[in-house]
Amino acid sequence: MQRRARRFPGRPEHVRAARRFVAAALAAWPATQEAALLLVSEVVTNAILHSASGDHGGSLEVRYALDDHEVYVEVLDAGGAAHPRRYAQYLEGVSGRGLALVAALASGWGVHDHQAGHVVWFRLPLRMHLQ
């Protein structure tokens, strides 16, 4: 099993680096890589917008574990007033779809607390092609 972790500044311009960090491990599975790019972007953006990770000097950590069947990804944020959760979707809304996308694309996902904040995690099966 391959495991990696990396800390990123809690700034919007670092979302791309977080995506590339996970995507690099998934080059052999293009369909999984594509889904992971979207989900990492959504979860990291949520951490920046809705937790202390987005405060001045804040940061977040992205971890992944890769085995022969799936990739497991975690985003650890610095906590905030609200616990990450799915919201009702409104067609006219410009936000609020991040965790709904995670729920739709991932084979499993969830949220739990850690000592300094929250962890949002998801699993994706390793696939070469979209199904």
Quickly count: other Cβ atoms within 10 Å of residue 60's Cβ. Answer: 26
Burial of 49 (0-12, 13-18, 19+ CB in 10 A): middle
Predicted pLDDT of residue 99: 86
| pLDDT score of 93 | 45
**Number of helices and strands (H, E) in the chain?**
3, 5
pLDDT in tens, 78-99: 998 765 554 445 444 444 567 8
Query: Are 18 and 8 a contacting pair, CB within 8 Å?
Result: yes
Task: Give the orientation angle of helix 30-50 with respect to helix 15-23, to 10 degrees.
Answer: 150
d(CA 6, CA 4) in angstroms, rounded, equals 7
Task: Give the chain's domains with CATH numbers.
Answer: 2-125 (3.30.565.10)
39 in Cβ contact with 97 (< 8 Å):
no
Per-residue pLDDT at 129: 72
- Residues of the chain short of pLDDT 70, as ranges, are 82-97, 130-131
**CA 2 to mean position of chain CA atoms:** 18
- Mean pLDDT across the chain: 89
